Structure 1
Amino acid sequence: MRRLTTLFPSEFLEEHAEELGVVERDRKLQIPAFVWSFVFGFAAGERRTLAGFRRSYNSTADEPISPGGFYQRLTPSLVEYLRDLVERGLDEVAVPDAVGADIDRFKDVMIADGTVLRLHEFLSDEYEARHEEQAGAKLHLLHNATDQTIERLDVTDEKTHDSTLFKTGTWLENRLVLFDLAYFKYRRFALIDENGGSFVSRLKQNANPVITEELREWRGRAIPLEGKQLRAVLDDLDRRYIDVEVEVEFKRGPYEGTRSLDTKRFRVVGVRNEDADDYHLYVTNLSREEFFPADLAQIYRCRWEVELLFRELKTQYDLDEFDTSNEHVVKILLYAALLSLLVSRDLLDLVTEQADDELVFPPERWAATFRSHAQLILHDLGEHLGYSPPPLLERLIKDAQKIHKQRPILQETLATATQPRCES
């Protein structure tokens, strides 16, 4: 429990909540219990719901909170507060170790990626989707695989392209960035190179650059590639690797109202996929002297760790299930899921430290274990923080009773409807 309270000390939680106006000065709401209920407020096999978070709070805090009192706390101030906690956690907690290749020469290895979150259709004005009559948000991450941290997090509507959120600059010097196809743009690659950075990206299906030089010699009667367009020769090749220099054309950024054309030379590498009888093609500015084609394929596989991260958020923490038309509630649920992930990772680090060296803890198996024990952890944490919740029977009565006296429950409605009517 000390590990968790070090990550988010109660004094900090209370003071920052007061700064942002999340709680009043009389502190009727016990903010540490409130926060930890959002982190652990789910049980194995159940969806994360606001009612579930409230029940978790009532089972932890000294005094229960009514449904109305709970829902009125779901404000823009709470959104800002939870986002601040996520950013604090990102600075402290490691996320999956993604670096498998020998790339110590780089200051950092960065992975840019995003995932779509489907929202209630009533939010289509605030979160415009790619298809009509839908609403969608997108979570964008810039993951530092070297430090195992998330350096940047953005939430936009679905139509906002991932590419627009990646800014080039001097920060790229001596850093390697791994991109998926959503970020593919020759001008971006040129700017990374000109800022002293490196990149590896999959080559787009419609990209067909001209080969200017072969970077690997082949024995026998190899097909010459220089001067030919890449796609024109792929079907004729049977070699295990392709390693060539290509020239690409792109438009520079606007200057005095015009955009000039420019060219740049990059390296394109192909690694044969025997199952599909084709090549995985990558474009990069990494040199052949330092990185062979197989090395680039291994480096690029680091991106899979971020895909696993998104899958864990969606499968274990219900990041893709927002059954609400309230924009603030969507963001609260989003940041609550991210907080759960960060706390889960922090506890995984603790478990790894305490366990025998030969034991391995796969992230997804750990996530399922964490989820199934969340309520037990919350109970122990509440005791550690000195809370004395009401007796269990009292909490059961408060949570199970009908809330609105004027609203008949289903059984009452059916009973009334099936009663014989008196003859007039």
Structure 2
Amino acid sequence: MDFKITEEYALELDNKDPLKEYRSQFHIPVINGKESIYFTGNSLGLQPKTTKQYLEEELEDWKNLGVEGHFHAKHRPWFHYHKFTKVLLAEIVGAKPIEVVSMNNLTSNLHLMMVSFYQPTNKRYKIIMEGGAFPSDQYAVESQVKFHGLKPSEAIVEIFPRSGEDTLRTEDIIDVIKEHGGSVALVLFSGVQYYTGQYFDIRSITSSAHEVGAFAGFDLAHAVGNVKLDLHDSGADFATWCSYKYLNSGPGGVSGIFVHERHANNSELPRFAGWWGHDEGQRFKMEKGFIPMEGADGWQLSNVNVLSSAAHLASLKIFEEAGLEALRKKSSQLTNYLRYLLKSLNSDLINIITPDSEGAYGCQLSIVIKEKGKKVFDELTKAGVIADWREPEVIRVAPVPLYNTFKDVYTFYSILKKTMNL
């Protein structure tokens, strides 16, 4: 697509945008009396205006029905609440409804998945992951390894980019998996790397893990609702994600998991069990002996956090209405336009470390401003841009297709150009 560097052109793109009306369905933060340039949907998505309605409906049922809301709620009986998001989530992550469920929060779910899919032996005990993974993932993996009496320095294999490069090559990931071969128990990667914005090749990584007899799992915190996912067809064993970034489900919103269908009825897989993962037909018999629900539901622990799930459902309904293909098309256009504008500055001080090859990025661009990055970031903030700073030197910007515009992208470029005196 041929782009132009004018505000008129950006407005023209907005006028032609088939999704332009969706911005009005979100609350846009205001700074100094003007709508901000909100480019941090990769950290916390904006609030849909329907969220309040969904929450109030549950509060009303709670007020009027008390405990009876579990089966007689006017809108959505709480006993089955986790089922209301299944079809929508399955479409977003490329899975079957049986393979997904919303529950808990991300790191709790990552631990639960590792209980099942990281069972080290004397021979097979290593976890391979990207170097510089999100700290919470690093802490989870380190603690799991220690829990099994192993040393992180021996059991965790981190893969870093080649010297002089910012992102990982898929062939290097595959080579490391093959190198460690039969000693690998689990390959655990991000879907989209939080710092660089690189979208990893989930299918190839999974295939390589399986070839050496290991499980493959993914943290999709920065991928879900952002990039095209096909978890079922990729063969991944498990995945987990949060819903408060691109899925706009509120701070600390409910997480979700994917467990591949081939594990759906494997009761031999070790797991930490809870009441809501037990066969719902026998749940209220209150008897000993855990019988897991089929599929991902069998990993649930406690009953559903209804208020968080209501906010989650409100946003998922918007995704359903807008359509994933349309959202991804606009996302690609927004991101490529932003990349084009930044490259037009032709400055040695600006380096975009997010890959530009097709299929290797979502809507996040990670920008390094050499020498004075934090100062530039602070000036952007003063000018009404809500972006994201990540140590040691990256400004993360994410034009989200549901509520960001091409004018947002152009205005950001104009402010950055002025701030850097380019």
TM (norm. structure 1) is 0.27
Higher relative contact order (CA 8 A, sep 6+): 2
By percentage of residues, which structure has more strand? 1
TM (norm. structure 2) is 0.27
